[in-house]
């Protein structure tokens, strides 16, 4: 199984208050999801051709503890099964030694031009 660990610093624009998902100046759940998806995307990226990308299609998340602005969050993504173009990951996020989030995530490999063409035709662009 392939793994990747990345470090992130919590920024003020990633708080629940700033993102509108809550009232406190702590790492917002949507921001935690974004960090986790980014780590999984980076883990998968070397396997893709220049004409491909991956898109997130499912996240099952437990946000377990608050994280302060300025804190470092370590995200560990592990790639599991590959079913043709659908890839599964398990992801954990830590604030120091404390587990602050864990997720199951799925990404789908798509041809970039085809994906964008479908989006443009859907929106009459």
Q: How far is CA 25 from CA 22, 28, 33, in A?
A: 9, 8, 17
- Predicted confidence band of residue 68 (pLDDT cuts 50, 70, 90): very high
CATH number, position 74: 3.10.129.10
- Model confidence pTM above 0.75: yes
Number of domains in the chain: 1
Residue 82: which domain range?
3-122
- At residue 113 the predicted structure's pLDDT band, cuts being 50, 70 and 90, is very high
Our separate counts of H helices and E strands in the chain read 3, 5
């Amino acid at each position: 199984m392939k793994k990747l660990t990345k470090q992130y610093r919590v920024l003020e624009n990633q708080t629940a208050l700033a993102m509108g998902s809550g009232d406190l100046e702590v790492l917002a759940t949507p921001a935690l999801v974004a960090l986790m998806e980014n780590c999984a995307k980076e883990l998968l990226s070397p396997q893709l051709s220049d004409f491909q990308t991956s898109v997130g299609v499912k996240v099952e998340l437990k946000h377990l503890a608050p994280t302060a602005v300025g804190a470092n969050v370590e995200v560990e993504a592990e790639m599991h099964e590959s079913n043709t173009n659908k890839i599964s990951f398990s992801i954990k996020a830590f604030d120091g030694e404390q587990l602050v989030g864990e997720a199951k995530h799925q990404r789908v490999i798509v041809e970039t031009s085809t994906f964008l063409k479908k989006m443009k035709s859907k929106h009459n662009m």
